Amino acid sequence: MAVKAAILGATGVVGQRFVQLLDGHPWIKVEVLAGRSSAGKLYSEATKWVLESPMPGWAAGITVEPVDPEAIAERVDVVFSALPRSVAAPIEDALARRGVVVASNAGAMRLDPDVPLLNGEVNWEHVKLVDVQRSNRGYEGAILKNPNCTTAVLTLFLKPLLEEYGMKRVLVTTMQAITGAGLRGLPAAMIMDNVIPYIEGEEGKVKTESLKILGRLVDGRVEPADIAVEATTTRVPVIDGHTEVVYVELERRPGSIEEVGEVLASWRSMPQEAKLPTAPEKPLVVRWEPDRPQPRLDRLEGRGMSVVVGRLDWARNLGDNWIRAVILGHNTVRGAAGAAILAYEVYRALYS
């Protein structure tokens, strides 16, 4: 039987990705599209569609509904939330209290101790925090969060390295796409012919969220990873795809850079083993060409759910155990809607 779903904030960039990615999903059927300012209009009328594929026909004919937790909870099993952080928490809380599972891209509650902050392959076992959450909050449903887009890309790259070699320090500089700022984002006069070397709040999210995601679940709580993470985040005039230059100090020295590449390329996790619909066959794709990855060429690898790794090399001037890579991930797929859908699929695999 199909799982009935609603998408909140359905007309924005991430909301559109939810619509696109759930089109044809084998066991999730979208019943409700909701928005705060577009209620009463057909989705096709309310939405300025900006994605690379056409708007699905079934979505075009749906009338956008108000974001009413009580009314929505009566009709669906799961809600995918693309609401702004400023309004998300009370709405998502009300839905979870009414028995709905909320898989949310909104930043609110990501760091709450009893809220799973899930990046599918990286920390799927953290979904068991749902038991603690239900005990603490009296929920019949649950709230699942996916990380900030930059963090989602970064932690997928770091996880197999952490497992294989251990990890001390991470230095990352990002070049983030404009869709990361939302549909209205930045005025063209600000971003064209420009690089903006600051994104408010972003660097702190990369540090704190990464340590929670890479941490261990012990006795119903997450022990953050003991890794020093330092980030510089920038915005660049690219539509989709976050590029990150990453330096990593490992605890144990790999035998060779080729060995590191094989560790990354061969790594799989529970979503691949369970063949979850949104999980890519290869979470990490390693390229050895000197000029890859590139956003325009590589952002849709694995239907946008894979992270592409290039420029793998030693960073010997920093120390014997340092490596360097340039990584790329799709910010609204792996970094947002796709990660939330995968988080729900992980939940269903363990709780259905």
Give me the active site residues, please.
149, 242
Asked if 154 contacts 118 with a C-beta cutoff of 8 angstroms, the reply is: no
Asked if 120 contacts 268 with a C-beta cutoff of 8 angstroms, the reply is: no
Residue 91's nearest CA partner among 76, 72, 74, 110 is: 72
Query: Using N-to-C axis directions, what is the helix angle for 202-213 and 149-165, rounded to 10°?
Result: 40
Assigned token pair, 320 = 């014997």
Strand partners, 314: 323
Asked if 172 contacts 232 with a C-beta cutoff of 8 angstroms, the reply is: yes
E strands along the chain, which residues?
3-8, 28-34, 78-81, 101-104, 142-145, 167-176, 216-218, 221-223, 228-235, 242-250, 284-286, 307-314, 322-329
